[in-house]
C-alpha cells in the first residue's frame, strides 16, 4: 500500500507563511497606534511624489533640497491651520463650559419660539441638558483628536522623509516583491492614487468650499462669532448624510434665541437652499476631476474610520474600506481571464 505524503517543498512554504503571518501580527499589534501616521505618510507621498519628480527632472533641483522644500510647504498648509484651530477651539470650549447654562437657556428660548410659531415641540422629544453635554463632549473629543493628530503628523513626516528620499528603491521593491502581475500592480498604483486624492483632497476641499458659502450667510445675517461657526461647519460638512446641517441648524436656533427672528429664518432658508445646493455642485465638480467614490463607501468608511482612528478617520476610513473592496477586484484580475472594466470602488457610469 502506497502512502502519500505532503511534499517537503509545500511544507516549507506553509511553515514559512505561518511564521511570516505570526511576525506580521506581532508587529501590527505593537504598532497599531501609529497606523494613522503610516496612512498619513502614504497619503502625503502620493500627493508629493509627482511634484518631487517635476522639481528634480524639470527644474534640475537637488533631491534632498526638493524633499525638504516640499515637506516644509506641506507642513505650512497642514500644521498652521491646525495650530490656529486648536487655539480657537480651546478658547471656545472653555467659554462654552463656563457659560453652559446661559447657552442652554438661549437654545430653550429659541426652541420655544419654534413651538409657538409652528407647533413643533422639540423640547418634549429630547432632553436639552443631555444634548448640550453631548455637544460639549463631541467638541472636546475633536479637540483631543486634533492634539493627538500633531503626534501622528510628526510620525507621518518622519516616515515621509525616507519614502521620498528612497522612492526609487521603494517603487522597485514594490514591483519586484508584491506577488501580483505587473499589469495588476500598475492598476493598483493608479487606483490607490485616485483613492487618496479623492478622499484626502476631495473630501476636505468640498467641506471647505461649502463652509465658505455658509460663512458668507453667517456674515450676511449677523450671526455672532461667525468665524467660529465657520470652522465648526468645516468639520460638520465632512460628516456624511447630515453634513453641514449639524452646525447651521443650531446656528439658526442660536440666532432665533438672540431675538433675531427674521435673520434666523433667512439664514435657515439660505442654508437649506444655497448651502445645500453648493454641496451638490462642489461634489459633482470634484467627481469630474477625481475618483468618483460611491457614497455608501464614504458613509460606512467614515463610520469605520472614526471608530478606529478617531476624527481623522473621516479621511482614512473610506480609503481603508475602498481597499477592502479593491482586494476582490485584484483577485479577479489576478486569477481570472475575464476582464474587469468597472472598479467596485467607483460608481458605474451609466
Place of cell 452646525: 247
Confidence of residue 191 (pLDDT cuts 50, 70, 90): confident
pLDDT at 186: 78
Over residues 150-181, the pLDDT tens digits come to: 777 888 899 999 999 999 888 888 778 777 77
Confidence of residue 270 (pLDDT cuts 50, 70, 90): very high
Confidence of residue 126 (pLDDT cuts 50, 70, 90): low
Query: Cα–Cα distance between 48 and 67 in angstroms, integer?
Result: 9
Rounded to an integer, the average pLDDT of 6-29 is: 86
Instruction: Work out the end-to-end distance of the chain between its first and last CA atoms, rounded to an integer number of angstroms.
Output: 63
Which one has a higher pLDDT value, 111 or 341?
Answer: 111
pLDDT at 334: 73
Q: Is the pLDDT of residue 347 over 50?
A: no
Cell of 180: 501580483
Mean pLDDT computed over every residue of the chain? 77
pLDDT at 66: 92
Which one has a higher pLDDT value, 287 or 63?
Answer: 63
Query: Cα–Cα distance between 79 and 197 in angstroms, integer?
Result: 19
Confidence of residue 111 (pLDDT cuts 50, 70, 90): low
pLDDT at 343: 46
Give domain limits for the chain.
35-100+128-177, 179-350
pLDDT at 300: 81
Confirm if 277 and 340 have CB atoms less than 8 A apart. no
With CA atoms as reference, report the closest residue to 179 among 325, 337, 330: 330
Dihedral of alpha carbons 172, 174, 176, 182, sign = negative
Q: Is the pLDDT of residue 200 over 90?
A: no
> What is residue 120's three-state secondary structure?
coil
Query: Cα–Cα distance between 183 and 185 in angstroms, integer?
Result: 5
pLDDT at 106: 62
Confidence of residue 213 (pLDDT cuts 50, 70, 90): very high
DSSP 338: S
pLDDT at 91: 67
Contacts of 116 (CB under 8 A, 6+ apart): none
Q: Is the pLDDT of residue 345 over 60?
A: no
Q: How far is CA 40 from the centre of its chain?
A: 11
pLDDT at 282: 86
- DSSP 3-state helix, strand, coil percentages of the chain (rounded to 5)? 85, 0, 15
Which range among 19-33, 52-66, 231-245 shows the weakest confidence by mean pLDDT?
A: 231-245
DSSP 158-221: HHHHHHHHTHHHHHHHHHHHSSS-HHHHHHHHHHHHHHHIIIIIIHHHHHHHHHHHHHHHHHHT
Indicate the burial class of 7 (C-beta count within 10 angstroms; 0-12, 13-18, 19 or more): exposed
pLDDT at 274: 93
pLDDT at 69: 94
Amino acid at each position: 500500500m502506497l502512502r502519500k505524503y505532503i511534499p517537503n517543498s509545500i511544507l516549507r512554504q506553509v511553515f514559512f507563511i505561518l511564521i511570516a503571518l505570526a511576525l506580521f501580527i506581532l508587529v501590527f499589534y505593537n504598532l497599531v497606534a501609529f497606523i494613522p501616521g503610516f496612512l498619513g505618510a502614504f497619503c502625503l507621498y502620493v500627493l508629493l511624489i509627482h511634484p518631487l519628480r517635476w522639481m528634480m527632472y524639470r527644474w534640475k533641483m537637488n533631491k534632498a533640497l526638493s524633499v525638504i522644500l516640499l515637506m516644509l510647504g506641506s507642513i505650512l498648509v497642514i500644521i498652521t491651520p491646525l495650530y490656529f484651530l486648536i487655539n480657537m477651539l480651546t478658547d471656545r470650549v472653555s467659554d462654552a463650559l463656563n457659560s453652559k447654562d446661559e447657552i442652554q437657556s438661549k437654545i430653550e428660548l429659541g426652541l420655544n419660539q419654534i413651538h409657538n410659531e409652528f407647533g413643533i415641540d422639540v423640547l418634549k422629544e429630547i432632553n436639552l441638558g443631555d444634548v448640550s453635554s453631548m455637544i460639549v463632549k463631541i467638541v472636546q473629543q475633536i479637540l483631543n483628536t486634533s492634539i493627538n493628530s500633531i503626534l501622528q503628523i510628526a510620525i507621518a513626516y518622519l516616515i515621509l522623509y525616507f519614502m521620498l528620499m528612497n522612492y526609487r528603491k521603494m517603487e522597485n521593491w514594490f514591483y519586484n516583491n508584491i506577488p501580483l502581475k505587473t499589469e495588476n500592480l500598475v492598476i493598483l498604483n493608479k487606483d490607490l492614487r485616485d483613492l487618496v486624492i479623492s478622499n484626502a483632497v476631495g473630501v476636505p476641499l468640498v467641506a471647505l468650499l461649502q463652509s465658505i458659502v455658509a460663512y458668507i450667510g453667517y456674515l450676511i445675517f449677523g450671526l455672532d462669532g461667525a468665524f467660529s461657526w465657520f470652522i465648526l461647519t468645516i468639520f460638520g460638512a465632512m460628516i456624511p448624510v447630515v453634513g453641514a446641517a449639524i452646525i447651521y441648524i443650531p446656528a439658526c436656533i442660536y440666532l432665533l434665541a438672540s431675538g433675531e427672528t427674521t435673520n434666523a429664518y433667512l439664514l435657515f432658508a439660505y442654508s437649506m437652499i444655497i448651502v445645500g445646493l453648493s454641496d451638490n455642485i462642489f461634489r459633482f465638480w470634484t467627481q469630474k476631476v477625481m475618483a468618483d467614490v460611491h457614497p455608501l463607501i464614504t458613509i460606512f468608511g467614515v463610520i469605520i474610520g472614526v471608530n478606529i482612528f478617531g476624527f481623522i478617520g473621516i479621511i482614512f476610513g473610506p480609503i481603508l474600506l475602498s481597499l477592502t473592496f479593491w482586494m476582490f477586484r485584484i483577485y479577479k484580475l489576478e486569477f481570472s481571464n475575464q476582464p474587469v472594466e468597472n472598479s467596485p470602488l467607483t460608481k458605474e457610469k451609466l
